[in-house]
Amino acid sequence: MDVRGSWERTARGAMLLGDDGRLRPTIFAEMSALATATGAINLGQGFPDEDGPAEVLEAARQAISDGLNQYPPGRGLPVLRTAIAEHQERFYGIRVDPDRDVLVTAGATEALAATVLALTDEGDHVVTFEPFYDAYAAVTALARAELITVPLRSPGFSPDLDALRDAVTDRTRIILVNSPHNPTGSVLDREALELIVELAHEHDAVIVTDEVYEHLTFGVEHIPIASLPGAAERTITISSGGKTFSTTGWKVGWLVAPPHLLEPVLAVKQYLTYVNAAAFQPAIAAGLRLPDRYFESAADALRRKRDILSSGLSAAGFAVGAPDAGYFVIADAAPLGAEDAAAFCRSLPELAGVVAVPVTAFVRDENRAHYASLVRFAFCKREDVLDRAAAQLASLPR
C-alpha cells in the first residue's frame, strides 16, 4: 500500500524530509539523543530543569484529590477562563468575557494548529517572521496554506518593515506574530505592531499572536498587539502556562479572541483533542492569580541566567547578542571558524560537552545562508548547570 502523498507535502512543509525523501528526526530529537548518548549538557530544547511555583504544583495535586479527573468543559474550566480574563485586564487593561472570548487548549501548540486549520483554505497565505517557531511551518503545511516569511536579521533581529509591507497582500489570511520571539529573543516595538494592525485592516487579514513568553522579558515592555486601537476585533491572542510557570509538560494553553474568530477555532479544536489537562487547569488558574512579585522574580531569575550563559559564550569567542526576552540566546560561531552551525552543533558535545541547535532549524531551506553560522542556546537551566556549560565552552579551540 502506498501511503505517501498528502503527508509528504506536510512533512516537506514541516522541513521533515531529508534529501533522500525519507522522514528525518527533528533537530531537537537528534540533538537530545546526542545529549543523552554523550552525557553533554542539553542546552538544545527549551524546557526548565527546575520546578515552578509550589502553589501551582500543590493546586494540581489538590485538584486530583478533589476528583477533577474527568473531561472538563470544551472551552475549559470556568475557574481558568476567569483567571485568564482577569490576567488580561490586570496586566494589559484588556477586558474580555471569560464565557465568550476565552478558549483553553492543549498548549499554545493546539491553539496555533486549530487556528490555522480553522481560518485558512488551501493556498491562503500565512505571513510570519523568519526564523520562526518550528510548528508554524508544519501547521501551515497541514492546512495546505502557504507560509510567507519576512526576515529578522542579526544583529538585533528586528523586522524589515518594508519587507513586511511587501509580504502582506490580499491573499494573506493570517499575519502570525510571535513576540517575545523564539528563537531570537527579540520583542516587537509599537511601530512594528501598529504596522501589522494597519496591514491587517488594509488586506482584511486576521492577526494571530503567540505570546507564550509574555512575562519573561528583560527590561523591555511587552505590548500585546490586541491592546492597540482597532486590533482586538481581528486578533487571536495565544499564550500558555508552560513557559511562565515552568510547567511545559502540562500543556495548558489558551486563546483570547472575539466570538466570530473563536468559534471556528473551537469547532476544529473539538476534534483535535476535545479537551485536556483537567487537573492542571485550576493549577494554572492559581498561577495566573499569583501576585506581581512572582512574575517579576521569574523574569529576573531568567535574566541572570541569560547573563551567565551570554558572558560564557562571549568569553568562549562567540559573537553574542543580548536577547530582550524568552529562554534563548543566539550566538554566532563564525568567530570560532565555524561557518556551518549544523555541523558545529553535531561536534559540540564532543568538543565542549554541550548541546545546542543551529538556527537554520527555524529557517526555510532557501534562506539558510543568512543564518548559517548561528547557534541557539537555551538558558532556562539551573545556574550551576549554566556555570558548568560556560566553563566547558571556554575550552573550545579558537
Question: What residues line the site for ligand PLP (CB under 6 A)?
Answer: 107-109, 133, 178, 182, 210, 212, 240, 242-243, 248, 251, 253
Q: Output 110 or 338, the one with its CB closest to ligand PLP.
A: 110
Q: Output 134 or 198, the one with its CB closest to ligand PLP.
A: 134
Q: Output 10 or 105, the one with its CB closest to ligand PLP.
A: 105
DSSP character string of 97-125: -TTTSEEEEEHHHHHHHHHHHHH--TT-E
**Cα(335)–Cα(349) distance, rounded to whole angstroms?**
19
Decide if 347 contacts 380 (C-beta within 8 A).
Answer: no
Cell for 233? Answer: 476585533
Q: Tell the smallest beta-carbon distance from residue 136 to ligand PLP (Å).
A: 8
**Cα(132)–Cα(363) distance, rounded to whole angstroms?**
7
Q: Output 133 or 379, the one with its CB closest to ligand PLP.
A: 133
Who's near 313: CB < 8 A, 6+ residues apart? Answer: 320, 329, 331, 377, 390, 393
Q: Tell the smallest beta-carbon distance from residue 316 to ligand PLP (Å).
A: 25
Q: Output 107 or 349, the one with its CB closest to ligand PLP.
A: 107
Q: Tell the smallest beta-carbon distance from residue 350 to ligand PLP (Å).
A: 28
Q: Cis (ω within 30 of 0) for the bond into 229?
A: no
Q: Output 42 or 182, the one with its CB closest to ligand PLP.
A: 182
Q: Output 109 or 392, the one with its CB closest to ligand PLP.
A: 109
Q: Tell the smallest beta-carbon distance from residue 127 to ligand PLP (Å).
A: 16
**Closest CB to ligand PLP: residue number:** 107
DSSP character string of 57-69: HHHHHHHHHTT--
Q: Tell the smallest beta-carbon distance from residue 204 to ligand PLP (Å).
A: 25
Q: Which long-range contacts (CB under 8 A, 24 or more apart) does 271-275 make?
A: 272/106, 272/110, 272/113, 272/114, 273/105, 273/106, 273/110, 274/71, 274/74, 275/71, 275/72, 275/73, 275/74, 275/76, 275/104
Closest CA to 114 of 278, 236, 241, 279: 236
Q: Output 141 or 336, the one with its CB closest to ligand PLP.
A: 141
Q: Longest Cα pair distance anywhere in the chain, in angstroms?
A: 59
Q: Output 106 or 396, the one with its CB closest to ligand PLP.
A: 106
Cell for 133? Answer: 517557531
Q: Tell the smallest beta-carbon distance from residue 237 to ligand PLP (Å).
A: 13
Decide if 278 contacts 71 (C-beta within 8 A).
Answer: yes
Q: Tell the smallest beta-carbon distance from residue 326 to ligand PLP (Å).
A: 7
Q: Tell the smallest beta-carbon distance from residue 227 to ligand PLP (Å).
A: 19
**Cα(141)–Cα(293) distance, rounded to whole angstroms?**
41
The H or E element containing residue 262 is: helix 259-269
Q: Tell the smallest beta-carbon distance from residue 290 to ligand PLP (Å).
A: 18
Q: Tell the smallest beta-carbon distance from residue 106 to ligand PLP (Å).
A: 7
Q: Are strands 252-256 and 235-240 parallel, antiparallel or unpaired?
A: antiparallel
Who's near 63: CB < 8 A, 6+ residues apart? Answer: 278, 279, 280, 281, 282, 283
Cell for 205? Answer: 487579514
Residue 289 to residues 200, 211, 244, Cα–Cα distance (Å):
33, 18, 12
Q: Output 109 or 120, the one with its CB closest to ligand PLP.
A: 109
